[in-house]
Amino acid sequence: MQTLLITDLHLNSKTPGLLESQVSCFKAIVDRECPDDVIIMGDIFMHRKPSPSELLAFGQILNWIGGIPTVVLRGNHDSETKADDGITALSVFDNDYVQIVTHTYTDKLKNRVFIPHYENQEHIIHQLEMVPKDYTVFGHFGYAGCLNSIGDSDFSLSLSNFANTTYLGHIHGFIQGRGGLQEPHPVVTCLGTPYTTNFGEAFKPCFYAILDGYDVEYKEPGCGPRHLLFEAKELENNLETINDPSYHTFLRVMVDADHYPIPYEQLRVHSIDVKYSPVFNEEEISSYEPDKDLFAINEKVITDYVDQANSTISAEMLMQGYRLLQDEN
């Protein structure tokens, strides 16, 4: 019996084109794997109060899954408030085939425990302590150290709190640790998102998982939204990667003071977001003296501007204007 395990879809209609590519990616995974059941470990939506189009999109996903038994955990983004009361827009999708887990639920037939997101982490620790031996845990929360190697102030849980094999949503990057205080130390896996959700996740490996009994295989979707970040001067040498038609690519281009040209006509992406690098570095800003010029405007600076901006005003005329302003000062 094969279970499709996936998490943190973060369905989002605010970025044009993103929602459609998220739905298409999920459909492609279902068609590829033909699972016997599905577990989605929370954060279906990006926003606590999802828009009608986001609700409809999740409805499309569930319709595509069809009559396959599906368990959906309530994530923090799916909760209307931080009250741990279980109120979520996901509840409208609960039916004979789709189980929305708003509070901890134990499946005694499949030896599984589902723990949705709780703001009260002591409650999560208590729930973990109650899990029977040889059961598998699916949850939406993190633990100290899953965001960085020195521990995270966001989480009071530690790996020692996990006595069972556990799969987690909530953390967007794939990471594994060994739980428990005694041998054998169970594997705790933060699965991460199946695709990138913003430019802060550019180039991040993305996964879903297929569970077959106690065996697990982690797979890259190879489709869906993808956020890439390049400097303008790097674009021409990376066109094959950027233009990969398997993905719905959102490209951010960093432009520095050299104003390296962007080869727009060669880019085959959904959208291009241009950001300009700071003119001054932090050291220059921290050493700023009000009475001292940070840089000098001279004939070369103005000539370069005219050449790159295709200005109809000559460099000589601009220089004359600059000298007049200097004389006024």
Confidence of residue 312 (pLDDT cuts 50, 70, 90): low
| Mean pLDDT value across the chain | 89
Does residue 318 register a pLDDT over 90? no
Instruction: Give the per-residue pLDDT at 50.
Output: 96
Which pLDDT belongs to residue 328? Answer: 61
**pLDDT tier at 256, thresholds 50, 70, 90:** confident
Q: What is the pLDDT of residue 58?
A: 98
Q: Is the pLDDT of residue 97 over 70?
A: yes
**Cα distances (Å, whole numbers) of residue 120 to 49, 157, 174:** 21, 11, 24
Segment 76-93 mean pLDDT: 95
Judge whether residue 70 has pLDDT over 60.
yes
Dihedral pair phi/psi, residue 286, rounded to 5°: -70, -25
Asked if residue 56 has pLDDT above 90, the reply is yes
Say whether pLDDT at 292 is over 80: no
Q: What is the mean pLDDT of residues 148-154?
A: 63
DSSP 134-196: TPEEEEE---TTSSSTT--TT----GGG--S-EEEES-SS-EEEE-SSSSSPPEEEE---SS-
Mean pLDDT across 62-86: 95
Q: Does residue 8 surpass a pLDDT of 70?
A: yes
What end-to-end distance do the CA atoms of the chain give, in Å?
80
Residue 295: the pLDDT is 55
Highest mean pLDDT among 131-140, 144-153, 272-281: 131-140
pLDDT of residue 64: 96
Pairing assessment for the beta strands 112-115 and 2-6 based on DSSP bridges: unpaired
Handedness of CA 87, 90, 92, 95 (dihedral sign): negative
Given a contact cutoff of 8 angstroms between Cβ atoms, the answer to whether 146 and 159 are in contact is no
Structure tokens that stand for 224 in this block:
């869906």
Buried b (16+ CB within 10 A) or exposed e, 54-88: bbebbeebbeebeebbbbbbbbbbbbeeeebebeb
**Dihedral, CA of residue 279, residue 284, residue 287 and residue 292, to nearest 10:** -60
Whole-number Cα distances in Å, 174 to 50, 105, 194 = 26, 25, 10
Regarding beta strands 166-169 and 187-190, do their DSSP bridges make them parallel or antiparallel, or are they unpaired?
Answer: parallel
Answer yes or no: is pLDDT of 182 > 90.
no
Q: What is the pLDDT of residue 303?
A: 65
Tokens 């520095």 correspond to: 256
Question: What pLDDT shows up at residue 286?
Answer: 58
pLDDT of residue 260: 81
Q: What is the mean pLDDT of residues 309-314?
A: 64
Residue 12: its pLDDT value, please? 97
Long-range contacts of 155-163 (CB under 8 A, 24+ apart): 155/121, 156/121, 156/122, 156/125, 157/121, 157/124, 157/125, 157/128, 159/188, 161/125, 161/128, 161/129, 162/128, 162/137, 162/186, 162/188, 163/128, 163/129, 163/131, 163/133
pLDDT at 183: 74
**DSSP per-residue string spanning 30-41:** HHHH--SEEEE-
- Report the greatest alpha carbon distance in the chain: 86
The pLDDT of residue 261: 86
Radius of gyration over alpha carbons of the chain, in Å? 26
In the predicted structure, residue 161 carries a pLDDT above the cut 90: yes
Residue 285 pLDDT:
55
Q: For the chain, where are the alpha helices, taking DSSP H only?
A: 18-33, 52-65, 121-129, 239-242, 282-286, 299-309, 315-328
Confidence of residue 310 (pLDDT cuts 50, 70, 90): low
Q: Does residue 49 register a pLDDT over 80?
A: yes
Residue 45 corresponds to which amino acid? F
At 264 the pLDDT is 93
Query: Are 102 and 116 a contacting pair, CB within 8 Å?
Result: yes
